[in-house]
Structure formats: C-alpha cells, structure tokens
Amino acid sequence: MNNDKEHQFELLVRQHKRTIYTVCYMFSRNKAEIDDLFQEILIRLWNGFQDKKERRRIETVPLTVDIDPYEADDPKTQQIRELYDRISRLDLIDRSLILLWLEGISYDEIGAIIGITPNNVGVRLARIKDKLVKMSKNE
C-alpha cells in the first residue's frame, strides 16, 4: 500500500478514535478488553480501507487512545469514572444512545445507527439522563 493511503487511514483514525473508543467502552469496562476491541476495530477498518487487489498480511502495531479513565485521580477523572460506571449499568441500547450523544453525534445520526427516529432519540435520552441522576453509587 502506498504512503498516501496509509496517511489517509491514519488521519481517519485520528479523526474518529474517540468515537471508536466509545463504541469499545459500550461493550466492556475492562481496560485490556477495550484495548483489544479497539485494535480489532482498527484492523477491520484497515482491511476494509484497502482495495481488494492490494490485500496482504498486515503487521499489527498497537494504537492507543489519549484518554485513560482508569488511572488518573483528579476530581474531574473521578467524576468521569462515576458517570461511566453509571452508564455501564444501563442496558445496551440506552448505553449506546448516551455514549453516542456524549460523543457529540447528532440525533439524526444516532437514530440512523440505533434504528429509531430522531424524536425518539430525544425522548429516550431525557429518560436516560433522569435514570443516571437517580442512580446511587452502589446500585
């Protein structure tokens, strides 16, 4: 593969890595599993990014995310961990909705991803936010 395609892929990953990480976080809270999911998604994206004629064995290189919600002890990070702990207790659809919304994805796009109308996205998000506020730490 030429350097231009590699550069295009790198830019694409940099642009969307937070969203990819969020999708990984929808399925696990374990850092090692999230890293594995992230790597697997990137490999699949890379394979899909190439033209069929150019497919070949690819040496994998671990890619990391700039965010680590597992290690920092500052108050803001603790609040983020608390939020994600509460989010993790939601069912898969609600968890997906709120995480996509937190990534700044529009109601139209979220609706298209989840398979519901944008109005339904708004209604469900309001209910989810209410659930999150009412959750206690030990629920």
pLDDT in tens, 29-54: 788 888 888 888 888 778 777 656 45
Q: What is the per-residue pLDDT for 57? A: 47
Instruction: Decide: pTM greater than 0.75.
Output: no
HSE-up of 37 (CA within 13 Å, CB side)?
17
Q: What is the per-residue pLDDT for 63? A: 47
Amino acid letter, residue 5: K
Q: Point out the least confidently predicted range of 1-5, 43-47, 112-116, 117-121.
A: 1-5
DSSP state letter for 71: T
122 has pLDDT over 90: yes
Q: What is the per-residue pLDDT for 120? A: 94
Write down all domains in the chain, each with its CATH number in brackets: 1-67 (no CATH), 72-139 (1.10.10.10)
Q: Using one digit for the tens of pLDDT, what is the confidence trace for 58-94? A: 444 454 445 555 555 667 777 777 888 888 888 888 9
Q: How far apart are CA 93 and CA 118, in angstroms?
A: 15
